[in-house]
Amino acid sequence: MSLTDSQAVVSVVAALAIVAGLAGVVVPGLPALPLCWGGVLVWTLFGDAGPGRWAVLAAATVLAAGGTVLKYLWPGRNLKRTGVPTTSLLAGGLLGVVGFFVIPVVGLPIGFVGGIFGAERLRLGDTRLAWPATVQALKAAGLSMVLEFTAGLMIAALWVAGLLFA
């Protein structure tokens, strides 16, 4: 495979976008599923696979849209059921962003946990009551990441199948 081969270049660009999308699940600022889907889109538009490439793009679109919806609805439903309010999540998100810039990379989870705990402490008035809500929010964030990563892996596997069979 030489870099002058346009098919190879398109495949490498698509692969890099998909890998960046998978990394985007844990790296703040990278839109995970849109990057994975964009890699498939680039491969579909500029690659020279057969007509099956459009089916791969359609399936990747369904996976990306479904994964995006699912990563918000399922954890959000669990949080509503356990009684963690949206304001606590917003406080965690805001302090997570601030923490990311104050302490690069590790400041995000530290700020997220601190923000949720602080908001729940203010709301409930007791540290013993605030910690279980914080744990529930962390479980929801973890579930969201697992769902997003799974959808990204499914898109990647679909693209590899498209490379081999389309």
The per-residue pLDDT for 85 is 86
pLDDT at 146: 93
Domain count, the chain: 1
Which pLDDT tens digit goes with each residue over 24-78?
988 777 899 999 999 999 999 998 878 889 999 999 999 999 999 998 888 888 8
Residues 63, 158: contact at Cβ < 8 Å? yes
The pLDDT score that the predictor gives to residue 156 is 97
Average pLDDT value over all residues in the chain? 89
The pLDDT value recorded for residue 4 is: 56
pLDDT band at 2 (very low <50, low <70, confident <90, very high): low
- Residue 159 clears pLDDT 80, i.e. is over it: yes
Domain ranges, residue 70: 3-165
pLDDT at 22: 95
